[in-house]
Amino acid sequence: MLIIPAIDIKDGKCVRLTRGDFSQKKIYLDNPRDMAIIWRKQNARMLHIVDLDAALTGEMVNFEKIREIVTNLDIPVQVGGGIRSVDAVKQYLDIGICRVVIGSAAVINPGLVEELLKIYSPSQIVVGIDAENGIPRIKGWTESCSLKDYDLALQMKGMGIDRVIYTDISRDGMMQGFGYESTKRFAEKAGMKITASGGVTNVDDLKKLDELSSCGVDSVIIGKALYECNFPCQELWYSFEDGLTLDHNFSTARKK
C-alpha cells in the first residue's frame, strides 16, 4: 500500500480543512515547499498536492508554489484542484508533475477527459471522485451532481481512465477513521485502480485498507493524521527538523 502525504494549499500556505469546510482551516506551514521537503525526508515516495483556491475559482492561483515544490523534489508529484482545461494540464506536466487529477471537470465537461486521453496516457490523467453518501460533490465540494459515484467511475473507465482517487468526504479531516464500507462498495463496482482518501487516522486504518487490495485499492492519500503525528516517530522527526532549510540534495533534482 503506497502511502501518499497530502499538501493542500490555500492562500499560498500549507493547510488542512475539516470535511472540505474552508471556515475550518488550520495552517501548518507558511511555505508548502518546506512541508514537501519534510515528507520527502520522512521517505515519502510520492506527494499529492491540491490547490484549494483553484478548486473554487478554476484559476491556477498557486501554480508558482507548486512549481517550487516540484523543482525541489526528486519524487513524483501529482496535483489536483480546479484543473479544467487542456492548457492547465499541459502547464502542470511541463513543469514536471507526474499526473494531474481531474475532479469537477469530469462531471461538468467529460469531453475534456476524452480530449486529454487523446494527448496523454492514462498514467498521466486520473479522475478524483469526492463523494458523500455515494453522490459526487464538485466545485470545492460546494455542489452535488446527479450521478452515483460508481456510475461516474464507470463512465470515466469507458473513456480510458484506469485510476480513480476516491474520497469519502464525510470522513475527510475528521480523524475518526476512513469509510471502509463506502470505499469497498465503490471499488467493487468500479473495478479500477483506486487510491483511497479521507479519514485514515492510524495504523489500524491502514491494515483495514490493505484488506481492499483485492478490489483494486493499492494506495492511500493521508493528510491530517500525518500532520497531527498519529503515526510512530513523527513527533521525533518534527523536533529534529525545526528550522528546516533547503539542502543541495533537493535543490536541483526533479522527477522526469
53, 130, 172, 205: which one is catalytic?
A: 130
**130 counts as catalytic:** yes
Question: What is the chain's Cα-based Rg?
Answer: 17
List all residues 6 or more positions away from 61 whose beta carbon is below 8 Å from its beta carbon. 51, 53, 54
Name the one residue in this structure whose C-alpha cell is 499538501: 7
Amino acid at 207: K
* Whole-number Å distance between alpha carbons of 71 and 181: 39
Name the one residue in this structure whose C-alpha cell is 495552517: 27
CB 255 within 8 A of CB 76: yes
5 phi/psi in degrees, rounded to 5 = -65, 145
* Whole-number Å distance between alpha carbons of 79 and 70: 10
C-alpha distance from residue 185 to each of 15, 44, 124 (Å): 30, 28, 26
Q: What is the dihedral of CA 17, 22, 25, 31, to 10 degrees?
A: 90
195 phi/psi in degrees, rounded to 5 = -105, 115
* Whole-number Å distance between alpha carbons of 45 and 48: 11
Active site residues: 8, 130
